[in-house]
Amino acid sequence: MKRYRGYLIDLDGTLFRGTELIPGALSFIEKLAGANIPFLYLTNNSSRPPEQVAEKLRGFGFPAEPDQVYTSALATAQYLKEEMDSPSVFVIGEEGLKRAIREAGICINEEQPEAVVVGIDRQFTYEKMKRACLAIRNGATLIGTNADRALPTEEGLLPGSGSLSIGIAAASGVEPLFIGKPEPIIMKYALEKLGTSPEETLVVGDNLETDILAGIRGGMDTLLVFSGITTHEMANKSRIRATYYLDSLRDWSI
């Protein structure tokens, strides 16, 4: 097996499920840390700032600093700054997204925004949807942190950020631009932050449609672990092929 010099590692379904640690995940991360191999925790979840994500990871026993966490919220803020020259934005989302945008020095403007940014928002209302639509009809660009239609939780599959974006897009007559996995945008920024080339970086995750596809599109090798959303049957049927498949990260040699 090839030796990789950098790792981009998914969280939910890969290292933990909700509040439950996935067996083998801790020893995998400890091996990387022990060997001084750089890695990032890479998540489509825009709801929490990196500090809170790192805290949650440390609660499971993972070594994790905020600077090792990269989220779709951070990638969205970076995209707004670098590619769109920091437009004023109307944000539908939670603290992780709002803080990422504010900390990138981007102006939040509810009245006449140049962009509408949509992440998961459990306080979503018709009123927010309406403001978004009027802004988009008035020329604002629609950006979604990630296209995930459903969010796996202990209550079941709940509406994901992508479903909010799809509803707003339908009402506004546009298509959203998505930033998170499987889009190449978040992978480009994550690689820049990690400091390794695509050829020497491995993407690790439990989701073929997001993690693995993002890796493939970014020219990286990929490792699918069957600890989350993907079953063996789904993997057999899918046209998306990972480089490696494992039942547990315990069995991975770095």
Q: Report, as residue numbers or ranges, the catalytic residues.
A: 10, 12
Q: Is 10 annotated as a binding residue?
A: yes
> What minimum distance in Å lies between the beta carbon of 140 and a copy of itself?
13
Where b means 16+ CB within 10 Å and e means fewer, 91-124 reads bbbbebbbbbbeebebeebeeebbbbbbbbbeeb
Strand 20-21 and strand 16-17: pairing? Answer: antiparallel
Residue 78 DSSP label: H
12 is in an annotated binding site: yes
User: Would you say 206 is a known binding-site residue?
Assistant: yes
Q: What DSSP designation does 114 have? A: S
Separation CA 18–CA 91 (nearest Å): 26
Identify which of residues 133 and 212 has a Cβ nearer to a copy of itself in the complex.
133
Q: What is the binding site for a copy of itself (CB under 8 A)?
A: 121-127, 129-130, 133-134, 137, 149-150, 155-160, 162-164, 166-168, 170-173
Shortest CB 139 distance to a copy of itself, Å: 12
| For a copy of itself, the closer CB: 68 or 161 | 161
Beta carbon nearer to a copy of itself, 129 or 235 = 129
CA 27/CA 185 separation, integer angstroms: 30
CB of 223 to a copy of itself, least distance (A): 27
Per residue, what are the HEC states of 166-217? Answer: HHHHHHHCCCCEECCCCCHHHHHHHHHHHCCCHHHEEEEECCHHHHHHHHHH
Q: To the nearest whole angstrom, how small is the minimum distance from the Cβ of residue 13 to a copy of itself?
A: 18
Q: CB nearer to a copy of itself: give 37 or 166.
A: 166
| Binding region for Mg(2+) | 10, 12, 206
